[in-house]
Amino acid sequence: MSTELASTPPRNFVSRLWDRFAGLVRELGKFGVVGGLTYLVDSGVYLFLLGLHWNTYVAKIVAVAIAATLAFAGNRFWTWRDRPKSGLHREYLLYFLFNAIGLGIALGCLWLSHSALGSAWPGVFHTTTADFIAGNVFGLVLGTLFRFYSYRRWVFAPAAEADRAA
């Protein structure tokens, strides 16, 4: 046995984990940056429209549509820029399909808070703060988990899966 092999310490568990998941961690980081910026846009537009006394559901739909358009560009051209392009139309349609489902998740959380719980406790759940927390905190977290998986799996698929989709 050479002295070089004997003096090399075994790779620790954390190093092996990093080697295995480094790409996923980088994707999550980029997705998080894009998501954080578009969250600010979503929240700002939503609160602005609520301040103009728009219907809470319409305000949420408009805010999500604007933020989703910006998020598509950020994710296509930065987060998953190294993945093969499977056609802008296909990606855009799938992206917005999954965003619509994510919006449905956020609207479901908003409905649960505003309408279901609001009918029992209107003083608590018929407020801008309660609507914001339901739609932009709980709805956003659940919708984001769904979106990340969907985008990574079907919209910006790795090379082998993109070839099969084409």
Q: pLDDT at position 83, please?
A: 83
Report if residue 40 sits inside a domain: yes
Largest Cα–Cα distance in the chain? 77
Report whether pLDDT(54) > 90. Answer: yes
Report whether pLDDT(1) > 60. Answer: no
DSSP letters spanning 34-60: HHHHHHHHHHHHHHHHHHTT--HHHHH
Report if residue 2 sits inside a domain: no
Query: What confidence tens digit (pLDDT) does each residue in 113-162 have?
Result: 988 888 788 887 888 889 889 988 999 889 989 998 999 899 988 766 54
Query: What confidence tens digit (pLDDT) does each residue in 75-115 have?
Result: 999 998 888 778 888 898 999 899 889 989 999 999 999 88
Instruction: Report the C-alpha gap between 45 and 64 in whole angstroms.
Output: 9
Report if residue 16 sits inside a domain: no
Report if residue 11 sits inside a domain: no
Q: pLDDT at position 78, please?
A: 92
C-alpha 71 chain-centroid distance: 9
- pLDDT band for position 34 (50/70/90)? very high
Total number of domains constituting the chain = 1
Report if residue 145 sits inside a domain: yes
Q: What is the pTM of this model?
A: 0.65
Contacts of 106 (CB under 8 A, 6+ apart): 60, 64, 135, 136, 139, 140, 142, 143
**Range of the structural domain that residue 27 is part of:** 23-165
Q: pLDDT at position 7, please?
A: 55
Report if residue 8 sits inside a domain: no
Q: pLDDT at position 4, please?
A: 53
Q: Residue 142 in 3-state DSSP?
A: helix
Q: pLDDT at position 44, please?
A: 96
Report if residue 4 sits inside a domain: no
Number of continuous H segments (helices) and E segments (strands) in the chain: 9, 0
Q: Which residue has the higher pLDDT, 50 or 117?
A: 50
Report if residue 17 sits inside a domain: no
Q: pLDDT at position 161, please?
A: 55
